């Protein structure tokens, strides 16, 4: 048997204007996420907060943060009242929008960013729940995500 398929690689089509803008937007969003994360974790460290746990839940086209708990070691503490500057990418603008927000608002914003980056639509249909954990010492944000789904199993027997 002879294989007659053409294995030569065709040149990739040039990116459309929209694809180029989307790539630029994604790059800026990634850079700003890293900067916002560093600013937030630094502010939490200066306030003596070692960990923040953000619990979320969503289904049926709506989702929300259910609880935010700041900790110093194993002890719950009040979220610091200080403000920090965060930046947000704006479509087709080279410069980000900068805002001064409370640490609590920054925590919420980054928690939603993490969900959007990894599980866009987490609040739709059966939805999802879990925690976004900010570990100040490790300088990490961890998403513990539980997706819900409806399953169906069919058996047909003919005798």
pLDDT at residue 9, rounded to an integer:
73
Instruction: Provide the pairing of β-strand 140-147 with 128-135.
Output: antiparallel
**Is the distance from CB of 136 to CB of 41 less than 8 angstroms?**
yes
What H or E segment, with its residue span, contains residue 27?
Answer: helix 17-46
Tens-of-pLDDT digits for all 159 residues of the chain? Answer: 555 556 667 777 777 899 999 999 999 999 999 999 999 999 999 999 999 999 999 999 899 999 999 999 999 999 999 999 999 999 999 899 999 999 999 999 999 999 999 999 999 999 999 999 999 999 999 999 999 999 999 999 999
In DSSP terms, 57 is beta-bridged to 64, 129
Longest CA pairwise span in the chain (Å): 74
Dihedral sign for Cα atoms in the order 35, 110, 119, 76: positive
């Amino acid at each position: 048997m002879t294989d007659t398929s053409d294995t030569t690689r065709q040149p990739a089509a040039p990116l459309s204007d929209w694809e180029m803008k989307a790539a630029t937007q994604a790059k800026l969003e990634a850079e700003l996420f890293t900067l916002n994360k560093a600013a937030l974790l630094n502010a939490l460290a200066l306030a003596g907060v070692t960990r923040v746990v953000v619990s979320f839940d969503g289904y049926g086209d709506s989702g929300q943060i259910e609880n935010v708990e700041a900790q110093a070691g194993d002890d719950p503490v009040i979220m610091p009242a200080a403000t920090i500057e965060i930046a947000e990418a704006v479509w087709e603008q080279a410069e980000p929008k900068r805002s001064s927000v409370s640490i609590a608002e920054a925590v919420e914003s980054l928690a939603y960013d993490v969900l959007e980056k990894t599980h866009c639509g987490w609040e739709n249909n059966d939805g999802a729940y879990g925690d976004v954990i900010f570990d100040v010492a490790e300088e990490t944000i961890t998403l513990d995500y539980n997706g819900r789904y409806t399953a169906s199993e069919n058996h047909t027997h003919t005798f």
